[in-house]
Amino acid sequence: MSFMGNDDVDRDARLSPRARFAGRGVLVTGSTGMGGSAARALAAEGAHVFVVARNPDHLTNLTADIEAAGGRCTTHSADLRDEEAVEDVFTAAIHVLPRLDAVYSVAGISGRRFGDGPLHEATLEGWETVMGANATSQFLVVRAAVRRMLDQTSDGNGSRGAILTMSSTLVAHPEPTFFATHGYAASKGAIDGLTRAAAAYYAPHGIRINAIAPALVATPMSRRAQDDEAIRAYLADKQPLARGPIDVEAVTDVALHLLSDDARMITGQVVIVDGGWTVSEPRR
C-alpha cells in the first residue's frame, strides 16, 4: 500500500480547478486503461483513490504517477473473482479512506484467448472465464460496496454513495464480423440487469448505481483490434466522432460526471459512450 506524503496545502494547490471529489474516498477497480485514467482524474480532482488490480507492477506505476502529480493513492492487489478477496479489499478501503463516497468497477477481460467466440465455436472454459471475470466480479464488488454504503450516514445531498459499473455497447448493438465474442456480450448484459435492478432497490437508501457502456476504446485490452487494419478502417466509419478507437479520457469524463454530485439525480441508467457506433454504419 502507498500513502500520499505531500503537505495538504501543496496538494490542494495542484488540484483540478473543479475539485468535485475533494476530501472524498473513491474505490476504482483496474489500474490500466479506463481504470487507470479514472484514478488519475479522480485524484487530480481531490479524491483519495483506492485502486484494486491483480498486477502489483501496474499498481506501483499508477501510484507513482498519481503521487508525482500531487494526488493521494492507496493500492491493493486482489483477484476480484474471489469472494473473500473482495471482502478484504473493502475492509482495507474503509480503514484508509475518509468515507466510501464512490466506487467505479472497471476491471474485466475479453475472453477470446480463453475460448470465447461465436456460440457454435465457444468453449465452456471461455464462457465460465469471461462470466467470472466480468459478471461475477462486478456482482461481488457492487455487493460489497452497497453493504458498506448502507452503513454510512447520508451526506448533505442525501447520498450514501455512488456506484458505476462497466458494461459495453455490444450488449444492445452487436457487431458479428469483428467482435463475435458471445460470452463477453452476455457477461456485460448481466451487468446491465444487475445495475438496473440494484439501482431500483437502493435508490430509497440514497445509493445511486449506474453503468457506462463504451464502444471500442483505446486501452491495452483492445490492442488486438487497434492493430488490425481492417478493424481500424471499420471503426473510422462506425465511430465517426473518434474516427477510430475512442480516447480513454473521453470515457473518464463521463464516468467522473456519473460518480460526482453533478449526477445526483441520475440512477439506474446505462450510459453509452460510443463515438457514434449506435447511429452509424460503415461504408460498403
- 244 within some domain: yes
Which residue in the list 184, 201, 202, 234 is annotated as catalytic? 184
On whether the CB atoms of residues 122 and 183 are closer than 8 A, the answer is yes
CB 160 within 8 A of CB 207: yes
Structural domain contains residue 3: no
pLDDT higher than threshold 60 for residue 4:
no
Asked, for residue 53, whether it belongs to a domain, the answer is: yes
**What CATH code is carried by the domain that includes residue 39?**
3.40.50.720
Is 159 a domain residue? yes
Cα–Cα distance measured from residue 172 to residue 101, given in angstroms and rounded to the nearest whole number: 30
Query: Does the residue 50 lie in any domain?
Result: yes
* Domain-located, residue 68: yes
- What gap in Å lies between CA 249 and CA 251, rounded to an integer? 5
pLDDT band at residue 265 using 50, 70 and 90 as cut-offs: very high
Phi, psi of 120 (to 5 degrees): -75, -15
Residue 22 within any structural domain of the chain = yes
Domain of residue 180 covers: 8-279
Structure confidence at residue 157 (pLDDT):
85
How high does pLDDT run on average in the chain? 92
Instruction: Average the pLDDT over 156-175 and give the result.
Output: 95
Residue 283 has pLDDT above 80, yes or no: no
Is 184 designated active site? yes
pLDDT at residue number 281: 87
In a domain, 2, yes or no: no
State the total domains in the chain: 1
Question: What does the radius of gyration of the chain's CA atoms come to, in whole angstroms?
Answer: 18
Q: How confident is the model at residue 162 (pLDDT cuts 50, 70, 90)?
A: very high
Q: What does the pLDDT look like over 24-42, one tens digit per residue?
A: 999 999 999 999 999 999 9
> Rounded CA gap, 262 and 259, in Å?
8
DSSP assignment of 252-269 = HHHHHHHHSGGGTT--S-
Q: In this model, does residue 9 exceed pLDDT 60?
A: no
Query: Could you tell me the pLDDT band of residue 15, with boundaries at 50, 70 and 90?
Result: low
